[in-house]
Amino acid sequence: MQTFGENWIIVLLMAVAAFAMGMTLLTLNWVVAPAKPNAVKSAPYESGVPDVTPVKPRYTPRFYLVAMLFVVFDIEAIFIYPWAVLFDTLGLYGFVDMLVFIGLLVVGYIYAWKKGALEWV
């Protein structure tokens, strides 16, 4: 029979082993890897043409806002499916609990709509 302390010793040993392996690999890379920096290697290079204009960000912040909204409303389905499966066993408490959850999501949806987060143009 294992005690509580023995389980934590195993976790501690695994953490020490992971840290030691990471530090060993970093040190080995520092010792073995060639380091001969020069101006040519540090220059920006894209398709044979040096940059003449500032680099434009690839995605606008609006993309990330829409992605976050998608994740939030996608998680809604993850919570509703198990609730629907256990609907009969949860009873009135489960029903009221899900109404509160959906109410919070509707408030978030209305807030995002008023802020213009759902407009693409």
Kindly list the domain boundaries of the chain, sorted by start residue: 4-43+57-115
Q: Measure Cα distances from 59 to 5, 7, 51 in Å.
A: 49, 46, 19
Q: Where residue 17 falls among pLDDT bands split at 50, 70, 90? A: very high
**pLDDT tens digits, 77-118:** 888 888 889 888 988 998 999 999 989 888 888 888 888 777
**pLDDT tens digits, 19-48:** 999 999 999 998 998 878 888 777 766 666
Cβ-contact 100, 48 below 8 angstroms:
no
Region 40-68 average pLDDT: 71
CB count in 10 Å sphere of residue 102: 13
Q: How many residues does the chain have?
A: 121
Burial class (CB in 10 A: 0-12, 13-18, 19+), 40: exposed
| CATH class of the domain defined by 4-43+57-115 | mainly alpha
Mean pLDDT, the chain, rounded, equals: 82
Give the DSSP H/E element, type plus range, for residue 97. helix 87-115
Between 61 and 121, the higher pLDDT residue: 61
